Amino acid sequence: MSHELRTPLNAIIGFAEIMDEQVLGAVSVPQYRQYIRDILESARHLLGIIESVLDISNAEAGELVLNKREVELAPLIADALRETEAVRDARKLIVASDVADRLIVRVDPDKIRKALACLMSNAVKFSADGATIRVRATIDDDRLVRITLSDRGIGINPVALDRVFLPFVQLEDKLCRRFDGAGLGLPLARLFAELHGGTVELESSPEMGTTATLMLPAYAAGRCG
């Protein structure tokens, strides 16, 4: 199923990239060039959804394998944040980062990067233009690594917090209907954290914003000397 879903999309993306780069000749009509970019954006978005669904399916079947290694946390967070850089720049969003120096974690970097990117995408999506999103990473007294992303966006009613971790669930609140999404980001972030023995928690209030905290257990954390 993975092969059948990915192969046609990869062909669409590949040929659209060739046309976008005008490798075989110029695309002279400006409107066609915009159509090509729309095809690329839509195909990449769909591929991301498919990969998220497959990750959830594989994890539920116990077939998702982690490739853990020791990595420094700050560059990993920076990589995840870059995935939303274009949108943040367009909307003049500011990221205030406070990550402990030389903090080392033993994780599957691809999975944790994706978890952080999902959390950051939500913070960006629900923030007002020009707002500040705060990112912080520390080791607390219980030797837990805590990575928090805080926004001052529309927030979530506390009674609905558990529901947002269910795959494909979109809150029916009128504020949330304005925002696109498949309802996979938070479930996937928590799933990847739990595979590492950690979790993702939310604190939120309507109109006051949301703080998402990704936690990793003590055995997966340390500081290099």
pLDDT in tens, 136-157: 998 887 778 899 999 998 888 8
The CATH code that applies to domain 69-223 is: 3.30.565.10
pLDDT at residue 175 tops 70: no
Q: Which pTM does this prediction carry?
A: 0.78
* Percent of the chain residues past pLDDT 90, beyond the cut: 38
Place of tokens 């629900």: 126
For the chain, the structural domain boundaries read: 2-60, 69-223
Q: What would the pLDDT profile of 50-93 be if each residue is shown by its tens digit?
A: 888 888 888 877 778 889 988 888 999 999 999 899 899 999 99
pLDDT at position 224: 42
Residue 101 has pLDDT above 80, yes or no: no
Residue type, 211: T
pLDDT at 110: 92
pLDDT digits 0-9 by tens, 17-38: 999 988 888 888 889 889 999 9
pLDDT of 169:
61
**In whole numbers, what is the pLDDT of the chain averaged over residues?**
84
Burial category of 209 from C-beta neighbours within 10 Å (exposed 0-12, middle 13-18, buried 19 and up): buried
* Structure-token pair, residue 213: 């905290």
Q: To the nearest 10°, report the CA torsion of 222, 213, 167, 91.
A: -120
Q: Span 147-168, mean pLDDT?
A: 83
- pLDDT(194) > 50: yes
pLDDT at 168: 65
Q: How confident is the model at residue 181 (pLDDT cuts 50, 70, 90)?
A: low
